[in-house]
A and B are shown apart, each in its own frame.
Chain A
């Protein structure tokens, strides 16, 4: 079966712009989480959604937001991009809240 699909794979944006990343979970998975991966900070939790509701939020500024749609697909948005937002953004899905996550291949965001 298809895995977690993230689009686009690569993105280059300019400081001050905003960006929207998309994630399609594995069919039947209702929980979606987002993580940021950087060489300096490692893998850090952004937020988790289940049944269109945000269940958890990490320690990121309000410029980072997300949502989940009724078909479980999710988007995350970063406004007023900063150079430090350059990272690999990973989406992960799970059947429900307390099961193991399957990660997508990520979206590599570069802010210039």
Chain B
């Protein structure tokens, strides 16, 4: 089955700096890669996702890049703010018709943005 590795496990940045989180996946058939942000006491919130036919996607201060050949994808947060402090999870899945969408998650990255 799919295996997703996420690094680093913790990341401390100064407010205004950039943060980068990297994930690698094992199943070359995976074609959907979402990123989730989880704050204390809440469920994971989808912040951005990318499909395998796209190499990069951007949404304001957040961007995701995908390298299918190397089987890795990254989350980039620019101009970090204290409210970006949370645990971030990457995930991968093979979405295919009736097969559904079973997400395999990375271990998470705890991001701390210091004011």
Set of chain A residues within 8 Å of B95, measured between Cβ atoms: 97-98
Chain B residues numbered 21-65 whose CB sits less than 8 Å from any CB in chain A: 32, 34, 36, 41-46, 49
Main secondary structure on A side of the interface with B = strand
Q: How far is the CA of A103 from the CA of B95 in the complex (A)?
A: 18
The number of residues on chain A lying at the interface, defined by a beta carbon within 8 Å of a beta carbon of chain B, is: 26
Q: How far is the CA of A64 from the CA of B42 in the complex (A)?
A: 23
Set of chain A residues within 8 Å of B101, measured between Cβ atoms: 31, 33, 48, 56, 94, 97-99, 101
B6 CB → nearest A CB, Å: 9
A55 touches B98 (CB 8 A): yes
User: B2 — nearest CB in chain A belongs to which residue?
Assistant: A45
Set of chain B residues within 8 Å of A100, measured between Cβ atoms: 34, 46, 49
Residue positions of A touching B, CB distance < 8 A: 4, 31, 33, 35, 42-45, 48, 50, 55-56, 58, 90, 92, 94, 97-106
